[in-house]
Amino acid sequence: MKIWRFYLYFSTKNYVDLVRKYDIIIILNIFFWSTKKGSNMLNVGVVGATGYTGEKILDILLKHPQVRISYICAKIDKAQKISEIFPRFAGKIDLVCDNLDVEKAIKSCDLIFLAVPHKISMEIAPIFLKANKVVIDLSADYRLKNTEEYKTWYGLAHKDKKNLGIAVYGLPELYRERIKKAKLIANPGCYPTAAILALAPALTAGIVDTNSIIIDAKSGVTGAGRKASLDFFFSEINENLKAYKINEHQHMPEINQFLSILASKKINAVFVPHLIPMNRGILETIYVKLNKVKSEKDILALYKRFYKTEKFVRVYDAGQVPQTRNVFDANYCDIGIKVDKNKKLLIIVAAIDNLMKGAASQAVQNMNIVCGFKEDTGLK
């Protein structure tokens, strides 16, 4: 690559000491400069390309002007062109999708998305990180900092405690500056993305009773991933609505971990997810007691100030509430609020597309940040 030729040039010109001190900055700056000039493309791989999230990442990356999809793989019975698996990609990408070949992935990619089930990422992420690749993990393997909690909720001991310590939570609206310097990004879960963004302004302002948080969440079927299960057959889902994993969903510790950071105190929210008969979308209605007398106008102003510079969070005006159709196939989190003065109750409604801001597009947003691209590139 051109960046290494520049590196060797500087070294042979007796600038060794200078380069040793500033080599990382020089290499990254030259890389980003050449990418922006169009003379170089970021080579990206997608591990788990045949799942709902992996497919959506491919769809977004194909429209990204500064990215080349250079490697794809999945757990698959036989190698096939991705355009044969997903005919809508015909004429756009014809890479062969096969089972993971780590060496090939390392040779082909600068950055790798891990769109794989929980428990798998921690087996393969260390290999890519050792090879100096940027990794964006869409599983839960690097979200929880407490390894005992991980064992409790996911059923086995964490196998990569070393890299768990360097992982950065990929919620750009709260952790953008850390993401810029990250080598390993833990992309947030879909339910936590909506819950954390919905509650962040209120918690940081200290206006709510942190012991009173109730999150009522509803998700489309794709949130469970692409898998064969009786629970997700059409005849089981259609014309039906059900709560599941009441206050014991695996996203609970993630939600509580980051809400606690925002509030600077331990939080244990009540979390009740529901499965709704539609493909995509999450709508969360959150109830929390106010600990201070605040008008709806004041709280709305607080939320609008908090997200004033955030392109992908839209705070609705008074009297309006989000709908899932308004965020379909988009990277937005839409938020609306209502205050019941008599009950001193704040009601927050948040909507996201679980495959987009809840997974794939947020992962690409994180890629844009860490690579120095314009943050909304490929996401408009």
- What phi, psi does 246 have (nearest 5°)? -65, 120
Determine the pLDDT at residue 106.
98
Query: How far apart, in whole angstroms, are the C-alpha atoms of residue 130 and residue 128?
Result: 5
Query: How far apart, in whole angstroms, are the C-alpha atoms of residue 259 and residue 165?
Result: 19
Buried b / exposed e over 135-171, threshold 16 CB at 10 Å, is bbbbbbbbbbeeeebbeebbeeebbbeebbeebbbbb
Query: Residue 232's pLDDT band (boundaries 50, 70, 90)?
Result: low
Average pLDDT estimate for 83-108: 96
Query: How far apart, in whole angstroms, are the C-alpha atoms of residue 16 and residue 87?
Result: 51
Query: How far apart, in whole angstroms, are the C-alpha atoms of residue 349 and residue 327?
Result: 13
Cα 318 to Cα 278, 335, 338, 341, distances in angstroms: 28, 11, 8, 15
Q: Which structural domains are found in the chain, ordered by start? A: 41-187+360-371 (3.40.50.720), 191-352 (3.30.360.10)
Residue 271 pairs in a beta bridge with 215
List the structure tokens of 318: 């008074």
Q: Assess whether 97 carries a catalytic annotation.
A: no
- What phi, psi does 351 have (nearest 5°)? -130, 135
Helix, strand or coil for residue 335? strand
List the structure tokens of 212: 């009173």
CA dihedral over 176, 177, 181, 185, signed as positive or negative: negative
Q: Which residues contact 331 (CB under 8 A, 6 or more apart)?
A: 312, 356, 357, 361, 362, 365, 376, 379
Which is more confidently placed, 109 or 13?
Answer: 109
Greatest C-alpha distance within the chain: 74
User: What confidence tens digit (pLDDT) does each residue in 304-313 have?
Assistant: 999 999 999 9
CA dihedral over 29, 162, 174, 112, signed as positive or negative: positive
Average pLDDT estimate for 50-55: 95
Percent of the chain at pLDDT > 90 equals 83
Determine the pLDDT at residue 236.
74
User: What confidence tens digit (pLDDT) does each residue in 143-201 have?
Assistant: 999 999 999 999 999 999 999 999 999 999 999 999 999 999 999 999 999 999 999 99
Query: How far apart, in whole angstroms, are the C-alpha atoms of residue 49 and residue 74?
Result: 6
Query: Directed axis angle between helix 190-205 and helix 252-263, to 10°?
Result: 20
* pTM score of the predicted model: 0.88
Determine the pLDDT at residue 40.
79
Catalytic residue from among 73, 109, 190, 333: 190
Q: Which helix (H) or strand (E) holds 163?
A: helix 161-164
Of 189, 215, 353, nearest to 279 (Cα)? 353
Determine the pLDDT at residue 240.
86
